[in-house]
Amino acid sequence: MTDTQFLEVERREPGSSNKAKRLRRAGQVPAVLYGGDRESRPIAVNPRSLIEVLRSEHGQNTILALRVGDGAEQTALIHDYQVDPISRTLLHVDFRRIDMKIEIEVNVPVEVVGEAVGVKIDGGILDMILREVHVKCLPTDIPDHLRVDVSEFNIGDVAQVSDLDVPDGVELLVGLDQTVLTIAPPTVAIEDETVEEDEDLLGAPAEPELIGREGEEESEDDE
């Protein structure tokens, strides 16, 4: 069962990007709380507190109790968040209100258990195709991971969604035959082969390089 974690948030005034930048300089991250048949509410959150949640055992699926100002606590999940691609700092967060008695849809990460025989003995490579699985369940039934045991997997073996260990109360929203991972053969480096040149061709003039072909011009459409 997923525990509920308290997270302190503050009200903020909606505004321009300049206001959001000032808020970040003040050590807060702009956020929005929405859903639950209630109006959206602009809020602010401490980035350190949020990072602790994202790095916790439940990660983005942590059930949060948010207290906005002096109001009552509101139960929510982190629906989405934006990170600066250069500084890796949080830029914005979306919180979604939830009802503990109503099923919700979330993505649950896949956890690989064991070391495949094809990797350990034969030098194969575990190729992860599907890292998260879309599921539906009650908030209290959200699993931390969906595990797949690859201990007996050899090169060429494939794990599908049907091979995942899915707990009771969790409904898979993806096809059971969808590939989760494969054990690929080892990569073999091919050495460059040295080809002896024919002395008769050393003095032959090089053929002119083709610059382009008529009717095959490339074009790009601006969005």
Are 144 and 166 in the same domain? yes
The span from the CA of 1 to the CA of 109, in Å, is 16
**How high does pLDDT run on average in the chain?**
83
Of 171, 172, 166, nearest in space to 145 by CA: 166
Mean pLDDT, range 32-47, rounded to an integer: 89
pLDDT above 80 (res 209): no
- Do 93 and 13 belong together in one domain? yes
Among 81, 98, 115, the domain boundary falls at: 98
> Stretch 72-95: mean pLDDT, rounded?
90
Q: Residue 180 to residues 112, 129, 157: CA-CA distances in angstroms? A: 10, 5, 11
Q: What is the mean pLDDT of residues 157-176?
A: 96
Q: Is 219 left (phi over 0), alpha (psi -120 to 50) or beta?
A: beta
Tally of CB atoms within 10 A around 153: 24
- The domain boundary, picked from 63, 98, 133, lies at 98
pLDDT band, very low/low/confident/very high, at 16 (cuts 50, 70, 90): low
- How high is the pLDDT of residue 221? 41
pLDDT of residue 62 exceeding 60, the answer is: yes
Q: What residues contact 154, with CB distance under 8 A and at least 6 apart?
A: 116, 117, 118, 122, 124, 183
Do 110 and 63 lie in one domain? The reply is no
Q: Would 67 be classed as within a structural domain?
A: yes
Asked if pLDDT for residue 99 goes beyond 60, the answer is yes
pLDDT at 192 over 90: no
| Whether residues 126 and 141 fall in one domain | yes
Residue 221 amino acid letter: D
Domain range for 148 is 105-184
Q: Is the pLDDT confidence value at 139 over 60?
A: yes
